[in-house]
Amino acid sequence: MARLNFQDWMAIESPKVEKALDESLAFVPLPCRAIAAHILKAGGKRLRPLLVVAFARALDYDRDDVYPLATSLEMLHAATLLHDDILDRAGSRRGQPAAHTLFGEAKTILTGDALLAAGNSVTASYDSPSLCDCYARATALTAAGEILEMDSLGNPEQTRDTYMEIAMNKTAALIANACVMGATLAGASPAQTAAAERYGENVGLAFQIVDDALDFAPQSQTGKPCGGDLREGKLTPPIRLFRDSLDPGSRDRFDASFRTGNFDPEYFSGLIKEIGRFVPAALAIAKDRVRLALDALSGLPDADEKQILKQIADYVVARCK
């Protein structure tokens, strides 16, 4: 069989994931379905379900019940987005009005809960408590990561380790559990499951680091205003690397603004430019993580989808929005 490339694979798998997502709406109770459909059908990269599929296939699992399982984590992800847009008072999401601005906060919070439950129902239909456990752990760690992040906001002395702990919880845990769920469905050995987890954690960390670097790319490229993390007091890698480069006087000035979120407009635009110079160094950290992710794949059988997993990892650092 000729080697698949990522685009060809996506052209085959994406429609199957989308169809399964449509069908998974049946697990959402009727009164919550309109809001659930609003967030689920607004698009997205579908990274988590695609990783479930790729990992199961890489371990030679050929049944179609991988698709419903894959949607469970997209429902979890959608639930967290519904709740996050309320927490962040965000007005839009993926170019659409955020759900809470259309349906109200109360119903949006409840639909988030119902989506968490619907994803849970899907995993529970697989007769495998360890799949349920993956799902539950991913949910809990994502929430914990967001709280950790809130507790660190505006702290210019946050360490690199704390940043990594936040990213591991709020982003990488869910992506790692996607890989582990695919592997578990395929009946992976303990070593293969550990490899799936290590690949997913490192892809997830790389994903978050790239996301944070893209905060300093122009809005014309990403669709998001530049420097949002700086204003919100998130000490992401480019900001930390920039701060580390400052002399004590400049650092004091930076810290005072960073703690309060009050930046003189001219100072702010100067900072954006200067921090932008540290984006390549931040991306180098992400690339190191991708290397670790690829290492983790070395023990897996030499399937087509192993190549896809490599290309997904490369895509995570190559993406520009």
Query: Interface residues with its own copies (CB under 8 A)?
Result: 27-32, 79-80, 83, 86-87, 105-107, 109-114, 116-118, 120-121, 123-130, 132-133, 135-137, 139-148, 150-151, 169
Q: Which residue's CB is nearer to its own copies, number 72 or number 307?
A: 72
Which residue's CB is nearer to its own copies, number 8 or number 105? 105
Q: How far apart are CA 69 and CA 72, in angstroms?
A: 5
Contact present, 96 and 42 (Cβ < 8 Å): yes
Write 260-265 long-range contacts (CB < 8 A, 24+): 260/154, 261/154, 261/231, 261/232, 261/233, 263/230, 263/231
Contact 241, 251 (CB under 8 A): no
Residues 6+ positions from 103 with CB-CB distance below 8 Å: 34, 35, 38, 111
Q: Which residues contact 206 (CB under 8 A, 6 or more apart)?
A: 286, 287, 289, 290, 293, 313, 316, 317
Distances (CA, A) of 11 to 3, 38, 284, 308: 15, 23, 30, 13
Q: Considering the complex, state which of residue 118 and residue 309 has its C-beta at the smaller distance from its own copies.
A: 118
CA distance 294 to 286: 12
- Of 233 and 238, which has the nearer Cβ to its own copies? 233
Q: Residue written as tokens 């709020």?
A: 170
Task: Please name the residue that has the structure tokens 């993956």.
Answer: 134
Whether 154 and 30 have beta carbons less than 8 Å apart is answered as: no
Tell me which H or E stretch contains 271: helix 265-276
| DSSP-assigned letter for residue 100 | H
21 vs 114, which CB is nearer to its own copies? 114
DSSP run (H or E) holding 65: none
Q: Which of 100, 92, 93, 90 is nearest to 232 (CA)?
A: 90
For its own copies, the closer of residues 103 and 254 by Cβ is 103
Q: For its own copies, which is the closer residue by CB, 153 or 217?
A: 153
Contact 246, 254 (CB under 8 A): yes
Shortest Å, Cβ 72 to its own copies: 10
Task: State the nearest-atom distance from the C-beta of 259 to its own copies, in Å.
Answer: 18
List the one residue out of 204, 38, 17, 182 whose CA is nearest residue 115: 38
